């Protein structure tokens, strides 16, 4: 080997060693996301349809070897069918969490009525091995005043509950509502437009809340995406998961996501609720809340109307 060849080889090695830390750093900062699913609403489906829908959702998780969290409203699983389908989640290793029994909005509720509703749901799910003491507020509404908010926070702490908070909020429920209406009108309708809209929506909201996380906290947290047990996700959840991977996001288990220290923080902001990272950004003044609620069907309706979805 002559000097020129040796110099080129050493130069390549030095260049590789210089690049390697950058590649490692890029990989380390790739956003991570877990799937957290609300309600378990079967929309009065017959047993066969409900079973098929539930299995389609679980199959999407199996395809990517991840474990989700299901935040259960007791009213939706307080039946033989509901318990059987929830057991399938437990048996697949997904964590089971509390979302109240009746799905009331705490902002419009009295604490003395609301607190027992949480315990009523707990009674239905506490014996599942995968039950975890994580609580999520329906509609992400955590209280209309500081006193109202802190009263329930105290109750949850007393009963050993952590916050089943959301970092990436979305309006999949609204897309699902319009999809179901289309299928009710025409069971053979082409639903690919709903799929495409849903994927764009999730990508847009994920990028937005990851940017909020980086501005508010100086890092990308282990994200928790809020979606719902629905017809939409029975059809297209796997596409959502595929899209995350194609876009460079890392899919992680929900229980691992909730081990991120950020979920121990309780923002001192009003209105109370919303995406956790957004609330923390509002609290420390690094992010401004552009709208309230941050996500809702009214924001999606004009675009879906234009697309005739």
The model's pLDDT over 214-252, given as tens digits with 9 standing for 90+, comes to: 999 999 999 999 999 999 999 999 999 999 999 999 999
Percentage of the residues of the chain whose pLDDT score is greater than 90: 90
Residue with tokens 């979805």: 309
The model's pLDDT over 153-190, given as tens digits with 9 standing for 90+, comes to: 999 999 999 999 999 999 999 999 999 999 999 999 99
The Cα–Cα gap between 99 and 104 comes to: 10
Which SS3 state, helix, strand or coil, does residue 226 take? Answer: strand
**Residue 244: which residues within 8 A CB-CB, separation 6 or more?**
33, 206, 251
- How wide is the angle at C-alpha 238 spanned by C-alphas 258 and 262, nearest 5°? 15
How many of the other CB atoms lie within 10 Å of CB of 308? 7
Residue, of 2 and 283, whose pLDDT is higher: 283
pLDDT at res. 153? 98
The model's pLDDT over 214-224, given as tens digits with 9 standing for 90+, comes to: 999 999 999 99
Residue 175's φ and ψ, nearest 5 degrees, are: -60, -40
pLDDT at res. 88? 98
What b-and-e string marks burial along 153-188, b requiring 16 or more CB atoms within 10 Å of the CB? bebbeeeebebbbbbbbbbbbbbbbbbeebeeeeee
The model's pLDDT over 100-111, given as tens digits with 9 standing for 90+, comes to: 999 999 999 999
pLDDT at res. 309? 98
The full set of domains in the chain, from first to last, is 29-306 (3.20.20.370)
pTM above 0.75, yes or no: yes
**Phi-psi group of 32: left, alpha or beta (phi > 0 → left; psi -120 to 50 → alpha; rest → beta):** beta
pLDDT at res. 12? 39
Question: Would you mind telling me the total number of residues written for the chain in this entry?
Answer: 309
pLDDT at res. 29? 81
pLDDT at res. 171? 98
pLDDT at res. 28? 53
What b-and-e string marks burial along 89-122, b requiring 16 or more CB atoms within 10 Å of the CB? bbeeebbbbbbbbbbbebbebeeeebbebbebbb
The Cα–Cα gap between 63 and 177 comes to: 26
The model's pLDDT over 72-89, given as tens digits with 9 standing for 90+, comes to: 999 999 999 999 999 999
Residue 5 has pLDDT above 70, yes or no: no
């Amino acid at each position: 080997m002559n000097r020129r060849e040796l110099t080129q080889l050493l130069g390549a090695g030095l260049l590789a060693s210089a690049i390697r830390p950058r590649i490692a750093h890029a990989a380390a900062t790739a956003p991570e996301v877990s799937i957290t699913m609300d309600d378990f609403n079967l929309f009065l489906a017959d047993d066969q349809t409900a079973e098929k829908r539930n299995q389609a959702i679980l199959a999407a998780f199996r395809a990517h070897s991840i474990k989700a969290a299901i935040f259960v409203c007791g009213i939706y699983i307080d039946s033989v069918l509901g318990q059987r389908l929830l057991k399938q989640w437990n048996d697949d290793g997904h964590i089971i969490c509390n979302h109240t029994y009746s799905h009331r909005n705490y902002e419009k509720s009295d604490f003395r009525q609301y607190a027992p509703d949480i315990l009523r749901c707990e009674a239905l799910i506490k014996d599942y091995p995968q039950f975890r003491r994580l609580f999520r507020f329906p509609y992400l509404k955590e209280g209309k005043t500081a006193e109202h908010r802190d009263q329930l926070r105290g109750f949850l702490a007393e009963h050993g509950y952590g916050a089943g908070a959301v970092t990436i909020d979305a309006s999949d429920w609204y897309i699902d509502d319009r999809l179901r209406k289309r299928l009710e009108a025409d069971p053979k309708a082409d639903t690919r437009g709903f799929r495409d809209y849903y994927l764009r929506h999730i990508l847009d909201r994920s990028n937005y809340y990851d940017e909020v996380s980086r501005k508010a906290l100086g890092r990308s947290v282990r994200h928790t995406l809020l979606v719902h047990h629905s017809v939409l996700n029975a059809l297209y959840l796997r596409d959502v998961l595929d899209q995350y991977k194609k876009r460079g996001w890392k899919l992680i288990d929900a229980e691992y996501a909730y081990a991120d220290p950020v979920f121990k923080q309780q923002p001192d902001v009003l209105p109370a609720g919303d995406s956790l990272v957004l609330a923390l950004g509002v609290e420390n003044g690094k992010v401004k809340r552009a709208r309230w609620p941050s996500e809702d069907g009214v924001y999606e309706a004009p675009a879906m109307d234009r697309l005739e979805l």
